[in-house]
Amino acid sequence: MEHQFRTIIEPFRIKVVEPLGITTQAERRVALEAAHWNPFLLHAETILIDLLTDSGTGAMSAAQWAALMIGDETYAGSRSFFALERTVREITGKKHVIPAHQGRASEHILFSVLINRPGLVVPANSHFDTTRANVEHFGGEALDLLPPEHQDPRTDLPFKGDIDLVRLAAVLRDRPGQVPCVMMTVTNNRGGGQPVSLANLHAVRALCTEHGVPLLLDAARYAENAWFIKVREQGQAQRTVREIAKEMFSLCDGFTMSAKKDGLVNIGGLLCVDDDALAEECRTRLILTEGFPTYGGLAGRDLEALAVGLVEALDEDYQAYRHASIRYLFDRLDQMGIPMMRPPGGHAVYVDAGSLLPHIPPHEYPGLALTNALFLAGGVRGVEVGTVMFGQPDPNGGPDICAPIELVRLTFPRRTYTQSHVDYLVEVLAAVQRDADSLRGLRVVKQNKVLRAFSAWFEPLT
Ligand code: F0G
């Protein structure tokens, strides 16, 4: 008889290794001071485990590295483009496949076409920062419609990426002719990497059809979303992730994708639509900024690696392992009483730094204090997703206008770290938790007006 084992293993073995920089606490303090207490300004060699982002930071497979070698660098009509086009059509069913150098480039092209007059609004479950920025750049309004219970970190609901259908219906009804598209982010990064259910997507599709409005996906993490549907949505367990992904894509009129996530590549993006006229306009814009439509700012070899990565992301052993490794960290931290966004998302664990460090008020950046403490204690880099990232300096010089919640995202690069790295991470978090009372907030020394998180200088408060 065949045995069943409980341990979900990494479904790969390691062929190439990259040494990690092991540093002392004293060295890390020097590095953090030199980075002005902003982890974005750290140099990579000082970081042991980098959980800043899952974007472009994953490991490619042997098949992807092999595919690089057959990349066709023909300027126009590259063989590699047609290989990618075939794969994308098979997975998504979309007619027009337009490559771009990364997600935000495809967003820029799309919204440069769709937002063609004043007064337009783009509803979404939550816009990722770059989608919002692109909608606003062209004069549109980016409207997030997540129900309040999906924003509460404590509610343990299976599909906290679902949009508020009542409010969406109201927008579509009250603003006829002003909605160029509805955008659904799968999984919903801004909302904690939470998935969108098929039921919600069907309902959004029905509303969009009723009002004659296109539905687009931000499909950066489409395969992780499909996996969540398989394991959490009623009646889906017997279907393959690939079938579920196909259904997700069949419900939309097009999508943008940062291929740096579920494309399993280090660089790349896609813009895919069904509509011929829209595709034509997008291709014309693309020539201005990205290059020719058969390479879209990428090398031919990048297109080949992406074609392989998109398929590998649908592998169910891979998805089972990926979600198990995130759940593993979540469960260990939960046992330790570390407050987190529930349930764990598809690409990250979000620690609720505001609750962990209640003595640090939001305008003294508890998320940044925690991020820095993790780096000092163990060389781990997470990312603050709180008032530094989403708050705003008070125009009258008072305390910042704060974000609704102070989180630290511990983001998992794909196929990169092993269980012992996660065990180490748990120890680092335990050490920081023990010293939590002694942690202090920070103040801004220097900042830009926009996107300050990436460049601001800080100083610890004593
Ligand atoms: N959409 C989503 C949902 C994203 O998470 C990102 C990037 C983008 C679009 C933009 O894609 O970076 O290829 O231009 N998210 C990264 C992150 C940066 O860390 O979450 P890009």
* CATH of region 62-312, choose from 1.10.3210.10, 2.60.120.10, 3.30.9.100, 3.40.640.10: 3.40.640.10
Task: Give me the amino acid identity at 433.
Answer: Q
What residue ranges line ligand 1, CB within 6 angstroms? Answer: 53, 55, 102-104, 128, 130, 185, 189, 218, 220, 258, 260, 269
Ligand 1 atom with the smallest distance to the CA of 56 is 13
Beta pairing partners, 217:
184, 255
Query: What are the pLDDT tens digits along the chain (462 aa)?
Result: 889 898 999 999 999 999 998 999 999 999 999 999 999 999 999 999 999 999 999 999 999 999 999 999 999 999 999 999 999 999 999 999 999 999 999 999 999 999 999 999 999 999 999 999 999 999 999 999 999 999 999 999 999 999 999 999 999 999 999 999 999 999 999 889 999 999 999 999 999 999 999 999 999 999 999 999 999 999 999 999 999 999 999 999 999 999 999 999 999 999 999 999 999 999 999 999 999 999 999 999 999 999 999 999 999 999 999 999 999 999 999 999 999 999 999 999 999 999 999 999 999 999 999 999 999 999 999 999 999 999 988 888 888 999 989 999 999 999 999 999 999 999 999 999 999 999 999 999 999 877 899 999 999 998
Task: Give me the amino acid identity at 410.
Answer: L
Mutate to test the pocket of ligand 1, among 188, 217, 225, 258 (most ligand atoms within 8 A of CB): 258
Distance between Cα 269 and ligand 1 center (Å): 10
Q: Which candidate, 124, 219, 209, 137, places its Cα nearest to that of 163?
A: 124
Task: Give me the amino acid identity at 213.
Answer: V
Residue with CA at minimum distance from ligand 1 atom 10: 103
Distances, alpha carbon 400 to alpha carbons 41, 157, 386, 390, 461, in Å: 22, 32, 11, 10, 16
Distances, alpha carbon 142 to alpha carbons 35, 121, 180, 181, 395, in Å: 33, 6, 11, 11, 23
CATH code: domain 25-54+315-460 is 3.90.1150.10
Query: Tokens in use for 389?
Result: 């990232």
Residue with CA at minimum distance from ligand 1 atom 11: 103
Q: Supply the pTM of this predicted model.
A: 0.96
Distance between Cα 128 and ligand 1 center (Å): 7
Distance between Cα 389 and ligand 1 center (Å): 15
Query: Tokens in use for 134?
Result: 């692109």
Which residues of the chain does CATH 3.90.1150.10 include?
25-54+315-460
Distance between Cα 261 and ligand 1 center (Å): 8
Which residues of the chain does CATH 3.40.640.10 include?
62-312
Taking residue 199's Cβ as centre, other Cβ atoms within 10 Å add up to 14
How many angstroms separate the CA atoms of 74 and 112, rounded?
Answer: 28
Per-residue pLDDT tens over the stretch 230-279 = 999 999 999 999 999 999 999 999 999 999 999 999 999 999 999 999 99
Residue with CA at minimum distance from ligand 1 atom 20: 53
Q: Which candidate, 233, 246, 293, 236, places its Cα nearest to that of 106?
A: 293
